[in-house]
Structures are given as structure tokens and as C-alpha cells.
Chain A
Amino acid sequence: MALADDIRKLGADTRAALTAALDYHYQTIAIWERMVADVSQGVTFGVQNKATGRVADQAEVARNALAYIDKYLTPATFQQLITTFEAFFFDLLALWLRDHPGILLRKQVELETVLAAADTTAVLQGVIDRELNEVKYRKVAEWFEYLRKLVSVPGPSADQVAALAEAKASRDILVHGKGLVNPVYVAKAGAKARYAVGDVLELPDPYVRTTFGLVETVVGDVAATVASKA
């Protein structure tokens, strides 16, 4: 029962974190857009950077608002959505493996590691960390195949998994590819690819909202299903 409770809490905490991230995102956009609207109505102000002494007037700050929303804020929020999902997924696997250590009985451990560990719990945690670190580098579809080997879960659907894979590929382009679509993105995103090689990857609000809904739904469904099997 403790495992089921832990999984339900993990799911609830993750969904709360996703909602908080989106609230922050939209309320921050509202502040920037409010400022732009004020400038359009004739409001004036200056912002001095005390480190450099440079002063930006209201027109410059209003011009920068576009980049602050589309280039910084939205990619940061999007990355947080995907990172939060990844943390949920691998925390879930770790909870399950800690409660079902027999799954890992055939894994080899260096004697040096055993001797250096405080107790068998620490040895098991080391094996779980190593196992999951290896899984993390696989494709998203393979993450769910791994989960299904541990516990029989019907979802998420193939379409949901493909959409998650595209979202993760988009995140990877933002983090590692300077926002320019490359062949790796196209390969990872498959049929769900939104852009061609060489395109600038954008995060229109409808896409961000769809991704939020997808992640929130998958987290809720997977947590509920796995908890029911614990």
C-alpha cells in the first residue's frame, strides 16, 4: 500500500508542478504584454542596468518583450514541462524497482561498489541508478516498453507516445541545437515532426498548451494505473 501511495503522491505532485509552471508562464506573459500595451498608450520609463550603467527606455524594453517571451520565457517553460515529465517517469520506475528488487537480481555489481556501500539498500540504489541512466538514453517509445516489462499498463497510446517523442526532440533542439532543426530532430520526431531540417524551431502557444495537456494526461493516467497495480 505504501508504494501505491507513493506513486499517487508522485503523480499529484508532478501535475501540481506542471500547473504551477504554466501559471508562471502565462502570468509572466501577461505582465510583459501589459507593459507593451502601456508603452503603446504613451507610458514612459527607464531601466538602468547598474552593472553597466546603460539605460533602456520604454521603447527598447517593449521591443525586447517579444524576444523575452518567444526566445527566453516560452522555451524555458517548455523545457520545464518536458524535464518535469522525465523526472516523474524515472522517479516512478525507481519507486517500482526499489519495491520489486527481484527484477534486478541478475544485474552485476563490482565488489568494490559493494564494499564501499553503507548497506544493501545503498547497493540496490546504485544498481537502480545505473539501470535507469541507461534507459534514459533510449527512445521515448522504449521508455514505455521498459515500464511495461515491469508492470502491465495499457497506456499511453502509440499516438501519445509519438507526440511525447516529438516534444522531447523539440526540447533537445532547444537545449543542444540552438533552436535550429537538424536531422536528429526529424529522426526522433518521426511522423510527428513539425519542421524540416534547417528550420527555426518555434513554440507557438497552441503547441505549448497541447504539450502541457498531453504531459498532464499521461502523468495522471500512468500514475493512476501503476498505483492500482502496486
Chain B
Amino acid sequence: MTGPIPQPPIPLYTSDRGGGMFQIPSSRLEEVHSVLDHHGVPYWDSPIELTLDGRPPIRTIHLSVKADLKLVRTLLDSLA
């Protein structure tokens, strides 16, 4: 059997005051920016790039309290 290997969903952490954050490989930063920008999602990148135990670096994206978190969840699922 062939086909794409299912990827686990990208965790989206949310706050009771609105807003959220998620982490992605730095290599996908431009792709994710493009999707968020296209859908008008307000966000900013963390200033930190994490390198964990030699694995590919990770960036955290922070979502504004004005971001539609349901939309972001859908977008992340489409990216995973």
C-alpha cells in the first residue's frame, strides 16, 4: 500500500483571553506565513529559533487575540 504518511496535527495552544501559538519547523516558515497572510490571520513570529538535540530548528508563531482560532486550526490541519 502506498500513499502519504499521515502526520500528527500541529498542536495549537490557546488562551482564555484569545490568541494562541503553535510551533513549526523553521523550514516551513515562509509557507505558513503565506497561508496565514492569505487568510488575513494576525500573527507574529517568536524572536527565538529553537534547535533541539540536533533536530531541524523550530519557530513559534504567536496569534493575535483577533485571530480566528477555528480557522487557524483548519489551516494547520491542511498543513500537517
Name the A residues within 8 Å of B50 (CB-CB): 30, 33-34, 37
Name the A residues within 8 Å of B23 (CB-CB): 33, 36-37, 40
CB nearest neighbor in A for B10: A40
Q: Is A26 an interface residue (CB 8 A)?
A: yes
Q: Contact between B48 and A26 (Cβ–Cβ < 8 Å)? A: yes
- Number of B residues contacting the other chain (C-beta, 8 Å)? 23
Name the A residues within 8 Å of B58 (CB-CB): 33, 37
- Bound: A208/B26 CA distance, A: 22
Closest Cβ–Cβ distance, residue A147 to chain B (whole Å): 32
CB nearest neighbor in B for A34: B50
Q: Is the interface of B mostly helix, strand, loop or mixed?
A: strand
Closest Cβ–Cβ distance, residue B25 to chain A (whole Å): 11
Q: Kindly identify, within residues 112 to 149 of chain A, every residue whose CB is under 8 Å from any CB belonging to chain B.
A: none
Q: Contact between A70 and B60 (Cβ–Cβ < 8 Å)? A: no
Q: Contact between A34 and B15 (Cβ–Cβ < 8 Å)? A: no
CB nearest neighbor in A for B47: A205
Q: Is the interface of A mostly helix, strand, loop or mixed?
A: helix
Instruction: Assess A66 versus B47: contact at CB under 8 Å? Given A37-B52, A200-B65.
Output: no
Name B13's contact: one of A38, A41, A62, A200 (CB within 8 Å).
A62
Q: Contact between B17 and A71 (Cβ–Cβ < 8 Å)? A: yes
Q: Contact between A205 and B19 (Cβ–Cβ < 8 Å)? A: no
Q: Is B46 an interface residue (CB 8 A)?
A: yes
- Bound: A205/B59 CA distance, A: 13
B10-45 vs A, CB cutoff 8 Å, 1 = contact: the mask equals 010111111111010000000000000000000011
- State the B residues within 8 Å of A (CB): 11, 13-21, 23, 44-48, 50, 52, 58, 60, 62, 64-65
